[in-house]
Structure 1
């Protein structure tokens, strides 16, 4: 594998205010998902408080310790039918705090609300109910003398997917064996898109495009591609760190996972940027530590560096993140531009023989299907049986991100990834002139991103594969 993105002949200037942030404090998610803050609901025997970090909105509801205390939301549905309710909550005790969830006085369904470990650690509990057309009274009533959990918000999904928003359903991720698992300990596959370099294509990451990604495409994860060099982070750390903060918040509002990509490429040795990486990841992990949808990728594509050098870098950087966010999953790029060493004439055996000394992390693999075929595919097959792998970047073209699409070999890869619950993000969510950018040139200057009319062939293909509902097991 080789660098795919030389300095562009036509650099697109960074637009400082490209992201139009919704101003409403509730119901900020488009399409079939709405959010309702608990502090704005009707409360019986409970208080609105803000003394535990990590809540959204202006606070959360602390139930009184008694049976019958409740929080009641008014939820409007366009049509009658099933809905998925995702309650964001914290429970710092050692026992569950079950509630009975009723709709318009129905018999209701019991939701367990198990312990989260601390009052500042937030998780999600999910229930499926039937809503009537129009306004509905959704009430969560404590069924034990200890009352309910601290309740932050309710997200209501009336779509046809049968599941709630990805980050709401799956909650805090962790690595179990060689799989990425959700809060219920079940292996899952996340699928999504990578931005292009935000120093060039920030105008492609805005309210309308992110709404399309979440609601029209059905993505689970947004990879935020922060180049270190090439006009990126090192030129203005404050500006680019703030952009990343903003994109994390936008992904969170839409129930997506935010994959923060430290996109070092040249120099290829991540140790060359370790001081910058420490500064950046310390701030990002500290600010977002109470979120459950953050994934940290500390080295995009190490190249011209030994596996031992990458291992040394990772074992220095992982504790930097753990000091701020003990639960966050960390990704580490493999040698040979993320090829498990193949592009360097090596193999995954380097990693198997000398694994990184850490837990709750994964190794990353990149492929471009028109260039990286049998040898690379075989390496992925071998590695997936022994190492936790996430494909943080792939394309249907050549490794330059250009040229003809090889959809046949791309599908071979995706079938294997699906069968083995290996997550992926596709390169890239921009209107760059290359065939690997999903949007037609000029699209990002407008406000229309949904549907196929604005997409290149690669965009049509990848959107179609993302729209199939994910199976996120909860039991």
Structure 2
């Protein structure tokens, strides 16, 4: 009888243990499922900046990924709850950016656009997605132009959403036109931030930086005092490369928090490409450093960087047949788990110790051998070599986009202000020419351009653009180089060129090569190249 009782007790204990084990397994499974079903805001809550990194309410690093609207004055129909829900559920976004242009039929002339911003914020709140309210300056250049209106707008937004943890304020999309961080941008950011902080002490602020939000090194050297401010970096895969990634690593070492609030698979004009292999390098780099990113753009505009094809649904649930090549790439990257380390260099979350310099001539993007083209460089006094690559895959559009690099192969330093460079072309437009520097490692504001008609036109050249450099551009040490100087030329009426008829053009120069059809002068003396 005693044995039977013990046996029954043992069987009962085993059953209880099995039931406990089963229940705990179910609870664990339910807990995991519950965590997976949470929205981005439920998972991460109130964001902040800690040691130069974006962190969640638990102090853990967090990387937001998402997409930006195009200008809501043009493509606002794509900004609605159904579309954002589809982006959350089908694309895996955790952040949506609402691009409210200031000029170009934007908020300054049409304040009613504010309603669309509020609609987007309310949709994002309901869906548990972070949302960036983007004061999208572009043609206005200097953010101070409409500073009073910016302060009034952000004061209202902070009053409405100051207690909502999913709202992020982007105060100046892309300052440009020669304004600098220390001169115009930082004072503007500090003044507008003060208005926000009076009503919202916690939510993240993104500060635009100089040269279309590329000069993050200036902000890293002189950051604002606000603890929860991040600094905008914008890139386009067909235009920007390693030199800009080096700036990110420099900023990270300085404990500056970087947020890539706009990037595209095209070139900087939204055309060309898509440059998907270059974009993949960028995204792997950002993921390896847990840097948040937002792609441009959710629209069906007929340009490379648009995620949707013309005529796509405005309310989401897009089949692949409605996605552009860029859109399919971005959707895949949003859904892909970030690798632990797949960037340019350095371990995850850490910047390499030597990330400030650019690669040596001929190494970035491959070694261009000018002998393949039957052209060899002409080296004169001073040891100056001019390298060139073509920044535009279309020779028949309305832009000439040469990318130049000056290399000092001599034994002594050379002041850039002593040099002038001439790029020769045929002008079919007969219009006034426009000159832009999209980006330069030495600082876009340090590069100047002027146009001249050749007194004796050649077969493939009747004009040239001449580059000169300010004193602040500095000097090239022996063995040094300028890094990328990315130029853009347009006729005033934006008509098309025929670059195949241009002396300095090389359509197959996809990587830097020594190129003697662009000439360099030192104090007025030709030191590199052959004039047409």
Please, what TM-score do these two structures have when normalized by structure 2?
0.56
C-alpha contact (below 8 Å) 1:252/1:293 kept by paired residues:
yes
C-alpha contact (below 8 Å) 1:163/1:169 kept by paired residues:
no
**1:319 paired residue number:** 194
Following TM superposition, by how much is the alpha carbon of 1:403 offset from its aligned partner in structure 2, in angstroms?
A: 1.3
Output the CA distance in 2 between the equivalents of 1:313 and 1:442: 40
> What runs of 5+ residues in structure 1 fail to find an aligned partner?
1-105, 110-126, 132-155, 342-347
**1:297 paired residue number:** 170
Larger RCO of the pair (alpha carbons < 8 Å, separation 6+): 1
TM-superposition CA deviations, 1:165-191 (whole Å, max 9, x none)? 111110010010110000000111000
TM-superposition CA deviations, 1:189-244 (whole Å, max 9, x none)? 0000000000000111224322210100010000010101111111232x122211
RMSD of aligned residue pairs (Cα, Å): 2.3
Following TM superposition, by how much is the alpha carbon of 1:351 offset from its aligned partner in structure 2, in angstroms?
A: 2.5
* Aligned counterpart for 1:197 among listed residues 47, 50, 71: 71
Is the aligned partner of 1:253 residue 2:118? no
Question: Structure 1 residues 169 and 270, CA, compared in 2 at 3 Å: closer, same or farther?
Answer: same
Output the CA distance in 2 between the equivalents of 1:383 and 1:275: 30
Output the CA distance in 2 between the equivalents of 1:448 and 1:178: 35
**2:286 paired residue number:** 417
TM-superposition CA deviations, 1:110-165 (whole Å, max 9, x none)? xxxxxxxxxxxxxxxxx97645xxxxxxxxxxxxxxxxxxxxxxxx9969x83621
TM-superposition CA deviations, 1:354-378 (whole Å, max 9, x none)? 2222221100100001111132222
Describe how 1:177-216 pairs up with structure 2 within 5 A. Answer: 177-216=51-90
**1:93 paired residue number:** none
**1:233 paired residue number:** 107
Output the CA distance in 1 between the equivalents of 2:51 and 2:27: 30
**1:307 paired residue number:** 181
SS at match of 1:235: coil
Output the CA distance in 1 between the equivalents of 2:250 and 2:114: 37
* Aligned counterpart for 1:406 among listed residues 245, 268, 275: 275
Output the CA distance in 1 between the equivalents of 2:81 and 2:125: 13
* Aligned counterpart for 1:353 among listed residues 221, 246, 257: 221
C-alpha contact (below 8 Å) 2:175/2:185 kept by paired residues:
yes
C-alpha contact (below 8 Å) 1:333/1:363 kept by paired residues:
yes
C-alpha contact (below 8 Å) 1:443/1:449 kept by paired residues:
no
TM-superposition CA deviations, 1:265-322 (whole Å, max 9, x none)? 1211101111011111011110111211011111100112111110110111111111
C-alpha contact (below 8 Å) 1:216/1:451 kept by paired residues:
no
**2:335 paired residue number:** 467
* Aligned counterpart for 2:239 among listed residues 368, 371, 390: 371
Of 377-386 and 425-434, deviating more is 377-386
Output the CA distance in 1 between the equivalents of 2:164 and 2:204: 12
Is the aligned partner of 1:426 residue 2:274? no
Describe how 1:373-388 pairs up with structure 2 within 5 A. Answer: 373-386=241-254, 387-388=256-257
C-alpha contact (below 8 Å) 2:67/2:96 kept by paired residues:
yes
C-alpha contact (below 8 Å) 2:219/2:231 kept by paired residues:
no
**1:270 paired residue number:** 143
C-alpha contact (below 8 Å) 2:168/2:204 kept by paired residues:
yes
Give the count of matched residue pairs.
Answer: 315
**1:279 paired residue number:** 152
Following TM superposition, by how much is the alpha carbon of 1:415 offset from its aligned partner in structure 2, in angstroms?
A: 1.1
C-alpha contact (below 8 Å) 1:216/1:450 kept by paired residues:
no
C-alpha contact (below 8 Å) 1:226/1:232 kept by paired residues:
yes
C-alpha contact (below 8 Å) 1:288/1:294 kept by paired residues:
yes
SS at match of 1:432: coil
Output the CA distance in 2 between the equivalents of 1:357 and 1:172: 20
**2:205 paired residue number:** 330
Question: Structure 1 residues 284 and 168, CA, compared in 2 at 3 Å: closer, same or farther?
Answer: same
SS at match of 1:209: helix
Question: Structure 1 residues 263 and 412, CA, compared in 2 at 3 Å: closer, same or farther?
Answer: same
Following TM superposition, by how much is the alpha carbon of 1:256 offset from its aligned partner in structure 2, in angstroms?
A: 0.5
TM-superposition CA deviations, 1:420-447 (whole Å, max 9, x none)? 11000000011111011000001145x5
Please, what TM-score do these two structures have when normalized by structure 1?
0.63
Output the CA distance in 1 between the equivalents of 2:65 and 2:189: 25
**2:96 paired residue number:** 222
Task: Name the structure where helix makes up a greater proportion of residues.
Answer: 2
Structure whose alpha-carbon radius of gyration is higher: 2
Question: Structure 1 residues 414 and 212, CA, compared in 2 at 3 Å: closer, same or farther?
Answer: same
**2:367 paired residue number:** none
Is the aligned partner of 1:167 residue 2:50? no
Output the CA distance in 2 between the equivalents of 1:281 and 1:107: 51
Output the CA distance in 2 between the equivalents of 1:469 and 1:419: 11
Output the CA distance in 1 between the equivalents of 2:27 and 2:147: 46
C-alpha contact (below 8 Å) 2:288/2:338 kept by paired residues:
no
